[in-house]
A and B are shown apart, each in its own frame.
Chain A
Amino acid sequence: MTATQEKALAQGAVAVDAPPLEIHDMTVAYQRRPVLWDIDLQLPEGRLIAIIGPNGAGKSTLIKAALGLVPRASGRVEVYGRPIEKQLSLIGYVPQRESVDWDFPVSVLDVVMMGRYGRLGWFRRPGREDREAAMDCLRKVALQDFAGRQISQLSGGQQQRVFLARALAQEARLYFMDEPFAGVDAATEQAILAILQELRSHGRTVVVVHHSLQTVREYFDHVVLLNMRVVAHGPIEEVFTEENLRNTYGGRLPLLEQAADAVQRRSV
Chain B
Amino acid sequence: MPDHNNTIIKLDGVRKSFGAVHALSGVDLEIRIGEALGIVGHNGAGKSTLMHILAGSLQADTGSISIHDAAPVEGYGIAEAQAAGIRTVFQELSLCPNLTVAENTRIMNPEIKGFNWRSRASRQILDKLDEIFPGHGISANAYVGDLPIAKRQMVEISRAFTSISTPLNLVILDEPTSSLDAIVSEQLLTYVRKFTEAGGSCILISHLLNEILTTTNRIIVMQDGKVVDERATSRFDRDSLVEAMGSVAEHEENGDHAGKVRTREAEPILSVQPNETAGDMVMEIYPGEIVGLAGLSGHGQTETLVDIFLDKRKAGGKSRLPMALVAGDRQVDGIFPLWSIGKNISIASHGEFVRFGLIDHDQEKQLADSWKDKIGIQTPDLENNILSLSGGNQQKALFARALGSTAEMILMDDPMRGVDIGTKQEVYGLLRQEAAQGRTFIWYTTEMNELEHCDHIYVFREGNIVANLTRNELTEQKVLHASFEGG
User: Is this pair of chains taken from one and the same complex?
Assistant: no
